[in-house]
């Protein structure tokens, strides 16, 4: 199956700083990447969908200026959490073009 590499696996940052999360598709070209967020003891919620070469689509209630998504190539999609706050602490997971088949390993973000 498709392989997606997600980095970093864990990050701790200070409130007000920005954090970038990368998802790379290693053995296929991902025209689309889905980004999910999972708060502790909760389910996964879709945040946004990135599309190579065009603007990302954000789900209702997700601040596009806070969660910057870039999909500059067919193998790399990035999510940048800008001006992070403690309430942004969560587990972020990417999933590529083949919805439901493959997930990145996840990034545990802790904002202190």
Q: Which residues bind another protein (CB under 8 A)?
A: 6, 32, 34, 36, 42-46, 49, 93, 95, 99-106, 108
- Report in angstroms how near the CB of residue 105 gets to another protein at its nearest: 5
Contact in structure between 33 and 95 (CB atoms under 8 Å) = yes
* Residues 22/92/4/1 CA torsion (nearest 10 deg): -170
Cα angle 73, 77, 82; round to 5: 130
Residue number with CB closer to another protein (38 or 82): 38
- How far, in whole angstroms, is CA 48 from its chain's centroid? 8
Residue number with CB closer to another protein (18 or 42): 42
- Report in angstroms how near the CB of residue 110 gets to another protein at its nearest: 12
Residue number with CB closer to another protein (61 or 100): 100
């Amino acid at each position: 199956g498709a392989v997606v590499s997600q980095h970093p696996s864990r990050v701790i940052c200070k409130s007000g700083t920005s954090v970038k999360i990368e998802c790379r598709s290693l053995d296929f070209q991902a025209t689309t990447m889905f980004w999910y967020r999972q708060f502790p003891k909760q389910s996964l919620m879709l945040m946004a969908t990135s599309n190579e070469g065009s603007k990302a689509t954000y789900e209702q209630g997700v601040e596009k200026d806070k969660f910057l998504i870039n999909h500059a190539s067919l193998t790399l999609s990035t999510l940048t959490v800008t001006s992070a706050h403690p309430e942004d602490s969560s587990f972020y997971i990417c999933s590529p073009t083949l919805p439901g088949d493959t997930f990145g390993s996840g990034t545990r973000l802790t904002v202190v």
